């Protein structure tokens, strides 16, 4: 995975287009924009971390730190965008992209208000509805979290 400077990159998908593909909504939509997307290969997305995030009220009020599980969730949401764009599928209200497993998770640095998370995902394997990704979250080019994420595209019941 290569280091990049997201401030120099163009927006490939804005939050309005992201909302067409992801079922998440405030306060759980954790991808603000996509700056690089190569269907079938990789994605780089951005999450701007602000003190206004609701989780900072309790994690922790005197030393706000973004919960690691939410960093992993942000990386998983980026994989969802890559999966949908790779399938070249129009958003469908009855299709969800859900987390199926997380392996090899490493938390290396804390993420605090004012940080900009760069979410990177690369497809390792895709077989049937199962997708496996190598992911990283970076701040200023430094890896703060990495994981192997497994997701499944699934139809929902009406």
What's 87's DSSP letter?
Answer: H
The answer to whether residues 48 and 116 touch, using CB atoms and an 8 Å cutoff, is yes
- Residues pairing with 126 in the sheet: 131
In the annotation, is 59 catalytic?
yes
- Gap between the Cα atoms of 153 and 133, Å rounded: 14
Q: Can you read off the two tokens belonging to residue 93?
A: 């209200």
Half-sphere exposure of 7 (CA within 13 A, CB side): 5
- Gap between the Cα atoms of 147 and 46, Å rounded: 17
Work out the number of other CB atoms within 10 angstroms of the CB of residue 26.
Answer: 6
Identify the active-site residue in 24, 59, 109, 126: 59
Give catalytic residue positions.
Answer: 59
């Amino acid at each position: 995975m290569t280091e990049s400077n997201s401030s120099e990159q163009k927006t490939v998908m804005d939050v309005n287009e992201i909302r067409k593909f992801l079922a998440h909504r405030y306060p759980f939509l954790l991808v603000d924009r996509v700056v690089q997307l190569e269907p079938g290969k990789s994605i780089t997305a951005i999450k701007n971390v602000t003190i206004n995030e609701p989780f900072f009220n309790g994690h922790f009020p005197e030393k706000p730190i973004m919960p690691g599980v939410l960093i992993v969730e942000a990386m998983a949401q980026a994989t969802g965008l890559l999966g949908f764009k790779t399938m070249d599928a129009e958003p469908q209200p009855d299709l969800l992209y859900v987390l199926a497993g997380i392996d090899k998770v490493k938390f290396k640095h804390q993420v605090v208000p004012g940080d900009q998370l760069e979410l990177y995902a690369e497809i390792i394997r895709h077989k049937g509805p199962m997708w496996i990704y190598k992911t990283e979250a970076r701040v200023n080019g430094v890896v703060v979290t990495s994981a192997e994420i497994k997701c499944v595209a699934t139809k929902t019941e009406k």
